A = this chain, B = another copy of it.
Amino acid sequence: MTGKDIGQATIRDVAREADVSVASVSRVFNRLPNVRPELKERVEQAARKLHYVPHAGARNLSMARTGSIGIVLPDLHGEYFSEMLRGMEREAALHQRHLLLSNMHLDIGHGIEALRNMRGRVDGLIVMAPHLNLDDLFAQLPPGIPAVLLNCRANGLGMPELRVDNVAGAATMVRHLIDCGHRAIVHVEGPEGNVEAADRARGYAQAMEAAGLKPVILPGNFDEESGRRAVERLQAEQVDVDAIFAANDMTAIGVMVALRDLGVDVPTQVAVAGFDNIPLARLISPGLTTMAVDIADMGARGINRLVALIDGEAVPQMELRQPGLIIRTSSQLSAA
């Protein structure tokens, strides 16, 4: 009623101009076969004359289908999320879908609001919230929304999940560092309350203990800054360290930058390893040894699953993806 419509042409305007019914205009625009060519031509001419463009919102409402997918992320910082988004976008475009972004900042209240806001805007949701308890989140929502969860805390919601095997990945990395001859391996953890971070720390601790080594865990926050701080702390406390395994690549990069500033050579004096294999890991020097999660592909697969789910197809309940070890220079002791 209100609203600042500049008076754009509607389907009724076109119908009047072409002297046909709205149904016919609709049929022409939806390419239904049973329209006489002469009439079709008349409609198209009228539409062109009036600069008519169909109103997607109205279409969505009457068809109960939006063609959009809601992406609910905790943040957009860093290459991790942008890679994931890129993968999603690519796949969504293949399925003729748009992506509607919604950033649920840290607390659960905003999360709930964000999700509620999506109702009627999207056909389904991709939720990535490693820092929140999803059961609480979805409790507030009407049941039955198609959704795919990416790297979330396990839950009893019966929604398809896609996860990276962070425990196994971290263990693999620890074994690699041990193979390289390192013994005093320190882990810089991710943010508290983040499932992925917790799993990586767990994998690290298990592998260390399995090798008869003592785990040492420093707090971190998945960002460059926390890598830097971890190094400062190691330095201040004179901790003996052969290798630093950071919970993700950005932290590892912070570690490397801090070590460089201190004049400590990587990898000859201290080895460094990360997790994620963001594009940057390859470009920095020395190249960062890391666990490769094909982030863009994860995103793409998430979209793929969701589209299937929306179309009513069967979708695997859970997929656990194994990250692969990428060995670059940062981890290698000259004498292995």
| B141 with A53: CB separation less than 8 A | yes
A85 at interface by CB-CB < 8 Å: yes
A104 CB to nearest chain B CB (Å): 10
A264 at interface by CB-CB < 8 Å: no
Stoichiometry, as copies per complex, reads 2
A117 at interface by CB-CB < 8 Å: yes
| A62 with B117: CB separation less than 8 A | no
Chain B contacts for A285, CB-based, 8 A: 260, 284-285
Which of B4, B63, B93, B121 is A103 in contact with, Cβ under 8 Å?
B93
A16 at interface by CB-CB < 8 Å: no
| A54 with B120: CB separation less than 8 A | yes
A266-283, CB < 8 A from B: 280, 283
| B118 with A56: CB separation less than 8 A | yes
| B64 with A121: CB separation less than 8 A | no
| A61 with B57: CB separation less than 8 A | yes
Alpha-carbon distance between A64 and B80 when the two chains are bound, in angstroms: 36
| A143 with B1: CB separation less than 8 A | no
**With A63-B1, A142-B9, A285-B260 as contacts: A56 and B117 at CB distance below 8 Å:** yes
Which of B53, B59, B312 is A142 in contact with, Cβ under 8 Å?
B53
Alpha-carbon distance between A19 and B58 when the two chains are bound, in angstroms: 29
A119 at interface by CB-CB < 8 Å: yes
Query: What number of A residues sit within 8 Å (CB to CB) of B?
Result: 61
Which of B6, B76, B141 is A144 in contact with, Cβ under 8 Å?
B6
**With A51-B141, A51-B143, A60-B57 as contacts: A100 and B99 at CB distance below 8 Å:** yes
Chain B contacts for A253, CB-based, 8 A: 283
Chain B contacts for A260, CB-based, 8 A: 285
0/1 per residue, A23-55, Cβ < 8 Å to B? 000000000000000000000000000011111
Alpha-carbon distance between A5 and B65 when the two chains are bound, in angstroms: 9
A232 at interface by CB-CB < 8 Å: no
**With A1-B63, A60-B57, A61-B57 as contacts: A121 and B98 at CB distance below 8 Å:** yes
Chain B contacts for A4, CB-based, 8 A: 64-65, 310, 312
Alpha-carbon distance between A3 and B67 when the two chains are bound, in angstroms: 12
Chain B contacts for A284, CB-based, 8 A: 283-285
0/1 per residue, A109-144, Cβ < 8 Å to B? 000000011111100000000000000000001111
What are 10 A-B interface contacts by the 8 Å CB criterion?
Answer: A2-B64, A4-B64, A59-B120, A89-B101, A98-B121, A100-B101, A101-B101, A260-B285, A280-B280, A284-B284
- Identify the A interface with B (CB < 8 A): 1-6, 8-9, 51-66, 68, 76-77, 79, 81-82, 85-86, 89-90, 93, 98-103, 105, 116-121, 141-144, 253, 257, 260, 280, 283-285, 310, 312
